[in-house]
Copies of this chain bind each other. A is one copy, B any other.
């Protein structure tokens, strides 16, 4: 399919005295960083360090806004109104964008964090609110969405600049949804398997589901999770696998229409 792909990972999820993830090892391996904005991780000092680290490695910066739930790391459904959510996304996007401005780089994208991703898939009003926030933040701002999902389709229809996302380290259902984390086979922790899945997504636009069916999946960006044990090895394998297959790993800003 495409000969160029974006590789993204959540970054900057430390907070105050607490450290999370190995940003130092992972940043050189990716092309886009989803930077936590303070609502689930990422205090202002951490955001600046993360943006500057991304800049040093030529990695594009995105905002990774969350529900206001520090204690729950943004992973618990909250019954916010669409208008509240739109405003939370706007606030956090601006916060990260200002550090980009200070560092002399453009904010590339926004990607909803944690349970927001799922909420947007389930509830059109939530997808709409996120799409609106993205659109209000400028027509060039890219929104990451779940490839082949309803939230992706809805935001494309709204005219938002969308990058559909696939996952290297997650198993798929036949309808293009991710296998629930409650199932034992949800995660792909073998680096070679994750790399192979990423290569096939990028090169052929296909993924094999957990039960062996090939489905179409058109993706512009591939995500690897950074907070699982062994994450760095998986990300390295994915990066190297893509390059060996002749697929360039480059930030979306360089090539997404």
Chain A residues proximal to chain B, CB less than 8 Å:
13-20, 38, 40-41, 43-45, 47-48, 68-73, 76-80, 83-84, 87-88, 90-99, 101-102, 115, 133, 136-138, 227
Contact = CB atoms under 8 A, between A and B. Distances in A.
Contacts of A73: 16-17
A14 B19 CA distance: 11
A97 B92 CA distance: 11
A101 B45 contact: no
A48 to B, nearest CB: 5
A115 B70 CA distance: 20
A43 B15 contact: no
A45 B91 CA distance: 9
A91 B47 contact: yes
Contacts of A14: 18
A91 B101 contact: no
Report which residue of A19, A73, A102 has the largest number of chain B beta carbons within 10 angstroms of its beta carbon.
A102
Contact of A97 (B69, B70, B94, B227): B94
Contacts of A18: 14-15, 18-20
Contacts of A91: 38, 44, 47, 95, 98-99
Given A16-B70, A90-B99, A91-B98, 18 more contacts: A13-B17, A17-B40, A38-B91, A44-B88, A45-B87, A47-B91, A48-B87, A68-B69, A68-B71, A76-B79, A77-B78, A78-B79, A90-B102, A91-B95, A93-B98, A94-B98, A101-B136, A102-B137
Contact of A71 (B43, B97, B101): B43
Contacts of A43: 71
Report which residue of A80, A88, A227 has the largest number of chain B beta carbons within 10 angstroms of its beta carbon.
A80
Nearest to A67: B78
